[in-house]
Amino acid sequence: MNVLVTGAAGFVGQNLRIRLSREKDCTAFPFDVANTESELFEFLSKADRIVHLAGINRPPNPSEFMAGNLGLTSTIADALEKMQRPVPIIFSSSIQAELENDYGKSKRAAEERLKLYSERTSAPVRIFRFANIFGKWCKPNYNSAVATFCFNSAHGLSLTIHDPEAPLRLVYIDNVVDAIVRELTSELQGFSYVNAEPVYASTVGKVAAMIQDIHEKRQKGFIGDYSDSFYKKLATTYLSYVDIPSLATAPELKCDERGWLFELIKSEKAGQIFISTTKPGKKRGNHYHDTKVEKFCLIKGKAQISLRKVDSTERYDLEVDEQNIQVVDIPPGYTHSIENTGTEDCIVLFWANEIMDPTHPDTYRLEV
C-alpha cells in the first residue's frame, strides 16, 4: 500500500511516518513545504491512500488560513478528479471547525471540498476533527500549551497562564496515529466523521499544575500516579522535552563499610525501589517492620537471606545467587538480614511498599 502523507515533516506527520515504517507492505510518500507541486502530482498518481495532515494554523495574515487549508485540499481533490483516481482520503481537521473563527472556517471549507470529492468520485473520505494533540516532538511556544509547558518546565522557565480555567480538550499522539492507521487498514466506504480516543477534558491551569508536578517529582526521584492514563501520557510527553545531558542524574549514594545504597524510584502510591552493594562477609538488615513489607532480589553475587519471626526462635535461611534469580518477600513481624557469602560484592535490588520516613521509619533493630 502506497500512502501519501501531506504535512509529513510536522508533529503528527513525523509520528505517523515512523509508525507506517513498521507496517507490513506499506510505503509512505512524504510531502511537505519543501516539495514541489509536480512531486505532489506524481505522488497522487501512485497513492493507494492519502493522509492529509498539511495545513496552516498560525499565519501572519488571517486571509492565509483559507488559502492554506482549503487551497491544498482543493488542489488534491481537483487533481484526483482529473486523473479519475477515487483514492480514499483521511483528513486531519480540528474541533475548531465547529467554530466561526478564521481557522475553523478554513478547516470546515476543506471538509466540504472533500465531501464534494467523495460525492463526485465515490471515493471514501474520513474526517477527524481532532482535539488538541499532545505528545513527543510537538513544537513548543507555537500552538500547543502542553508542549510549551513541558518545554518551559524542563528548562527551568516560568509558565505563563492567562486564564487557568480555560477548557482544554486533549488527545495523545499515539492514540491519534492508532486511529489514522485503523482507517488506513480498513475497508472504507462513503464519507463520514471519525474519532481518535480517548479525549481528555481539563483546564489550562490543571494541565500546567500536573506538568509542574511531574517536573518537581523527577527532580526528587519520585514518579506520580501512572494508573492515571492522562498523567502517564503527560509524564511521557514531558520527558521528551528534557535535554539529553539532563536525562542522566546522579543519585545520593549512602556509603559505609558494607558498601553503598541508593534510592532508584519513589512513589507515594507504590513505595520505593533501592539498590545496594554488600562486600564479602558483610551483612545488612537485622531489623523488622510492623507494617512495612519488602522484596529482595539478588542480581549479582551470592548471599544468604535469613528470617525469624520476632517472637520465635525458629530461623529460616535462604541461599540465593545470580545463577538462580529469586524474588524473596519479607513479611511484617519477621526480623531479617542478608549476608554476602560470596567472594565478590553482591548487588541486591529492593522494593518496599512505602517510602522511608525518618520520623516514622517502622524499622526496629533485632538480630536474626
Which of 103, 172, 200, 288 is labelled catalytic? 103
Give the domain-ending residue among 207, 235, 266.
207
User: Do 203 and 258 fall into the same domain?
Assistant: no
Query: How many CB atoms within 10 Å of residue 153?
Result: 22
User: Do 62 and 123 fall into the same domain?
Assistant: yes
Q: Look at residue 225 and tell me if it is in a domain.
A: no
User: Do 266 and 176 fall into the same domain?
Assistant: no
Q: Look at residue 127 and tell me if it is in a domain.
A: yes
User: Do 260 and 339 fall into the same domain?
Assistant: yes
Give every residue of the chain whose pLDDT is below 50, as ranges.
none
Classify residue 314 by burial, with Cβ atoms within 10 Å: 0-12, 13-18, 19+. exposed
Residue 204 parent element (H or E): helix 204-219
User: Do 272 and 175 fall into the same domain?
Assistant: no
User: Do 139 and 37 fall into the same domain?
Assistant: yes
Q: Which amino acid is at 341?
A: T
Predicted local distance difference test score (pLDDT) of residue 65 = 86
Give the domain-ending residue among 207, 241, 265.
207
CA distance 183 to 196: 11
User: Do 92 and 193 fall into the same domain?
Assistant: yes
Q: Look at residue 97 and tell me if it is in a domain.
A: yes
**What CATH number does residue 282 fall under?**
2.60.120.10
User: Do 77 and 167 fall into the same domain?
Assistant: yes
**Known catalytic residue: 103?**
yes
**What CATH number does residue 95 fall under?**
3.40.50.720
CA distance 85 to 79: 9
Q: Look at residue 232 and tell me if it is in a domain.
A: no
Predicted local distance difference test score (pLDDT) of residue 55 = 86
CA distance 170 to 188: 27
CA distance 262 to 232: 25
Q: Look at residue 352 and tell me if it is in a domain.
A: yes
Q: Look at residue 113 and tell me if it is in a domain.
A: yes
Predicted local distance difference test score (pLDDT) of residue 64 = 81
Q: Look at residue 230 and tell me if it is in a domain.
A: no
Q: Look at residue 242 and tell me if it is in a domain.
A: no
- Residue 163 is classified by DSSP as -
User: Do 106 and 161 fall into the same domain?
Assistant: yes
The total number of structural domains in the chain stands at 2
Predicted local distance difference test score (pLDDT) of residue 288 = 98
User: Do 281 and 176 fall into the same domain?
Assistant: no
The residue behind cell 471547525 is: 97
Residue of 63, 58, 120, 121 lying closest to 94 (CA atoms): 58
**Structural domain that includes position 159:** 2-207
User: Do 194 and 306 fall into the same domain?
Assistant: no
Predicted local distance difference test score (pLDDT) of residue 228 = 96
The torsion of the CA quartet 333, 268, 242, 275, rounded to 10 degrees, works out to 0
User: Do 103 and 177 fall into the same domain?
Assistant: yes
